[in-house]
Amino acid sequence: MRSPVAVEGLPFIAAFAAVAVAGEILCPSVIGSVLLWILTGWCIWFFRDPERHPPQGDGVVIAPADGRVIVIEEVAAAPLSGQPARKCSIFMNVFNVHVNRCPIDGTVSKLAYHPGRFLNAAVDKASVENERMEILLTSPSGVLLPFVQVAGLIARRIICRLQPGQEVVQGGRFGLIRFGSRVDLYLPLSARIVVGLNEHTRAGETILAHLEPTP
């Protein structure tokens, strides 16, 4: 049985709980105790890792993150692939589930980590100036699909469990970004995008686009 919270969150949850217990012992106060346990509960809730059920269908690209679509635009060269693409950016606030999931079946062709700043993840320049992890998946049909985990104003740690050459399944968990961030997905120009700006997504379930079949 899977843990209902991401394993990366367990040290934080334990630390919050320890502070709450210590507070009750050293400085007993009803208000203080309630606040500390509320913070502990919030930490558990933040690192929640619910089950998701990926939709079935050939060529379906699903959301890698919970959040809100803040950018849909064409770019001249996507990270790692260098190909023209349409960028679809999903912004995660502190209330969203932060576990990230693979948008398609495929093979991890490349990974590239870039240290950087911690600007508000909702601003455009965060995609190129913030700390980020670039990932390139190659689908079984040969489609290149780059996507990028981008740290945010409060997020200070990107966790990516993927390795070059690894086979992944659509909807599979691959990492998370702690405390507010974004994920940029670079779709082929031929893809048919089916979400709009400001729509909300659920990682592993919301369909973002349909890939055109390769000739």
Domain membership of residue 2 (yes or no) is no
Q: What digits encode the pLDDT tens for the residues 24-34?
A: 777 777 677 78
Same-domain status, 110 and 19: no
Same-domain status, 124 and 166: yes
Domain membership of residue 55 (yes or no) is no
Instruction: Give the per-residue pLDDT at 68.
Output: 96
Instruction: Give the per-residue pLDDT at 180.
Output: 64
Q: Which residues contact 16 (CB under 8 A, 6 or more apart)?
A: 36, 39, 40, 43
Ordered per-residue pLDDT tens for the chain, 215 residues: 677 888 877 888 888 888 888 877 777 776 777 888 888 888 888 888 999 999 988 899 999 999 999 999 999 999 999 999 999 999 998 889 989 999 999 999 999 999 887 777 777 777 888 889 999 999 999 999 999 999 877 656 789 999 999 999 999 999 988 766 899 999 999 999 999 999 999 999 999 999 986 55
In the residue annotation, 89 being an active-site residue is answered as no
Domain containing residue 31: 7-46
Same-domain status, 19 and 70: no
Same-domain status, 85 and 137: yes
Instruction: Give the per-residue pLDDT at 154.
Output: 64
Neighbours of 200 (CB within 10 A): 13
Residues 81, 141, 181, 190: which is the catalytic one? 181
Instruction: Give the per-residue pLDDT at 5.
Output: 82
Q: Which residues contact 26 (CB under 8 A, 6 or more apart)?
A: none
- Structural domains in the chain (count): 2
Domain membership of residue 51 (yes or no) is no
Same-domain status, 165 and 72: yes
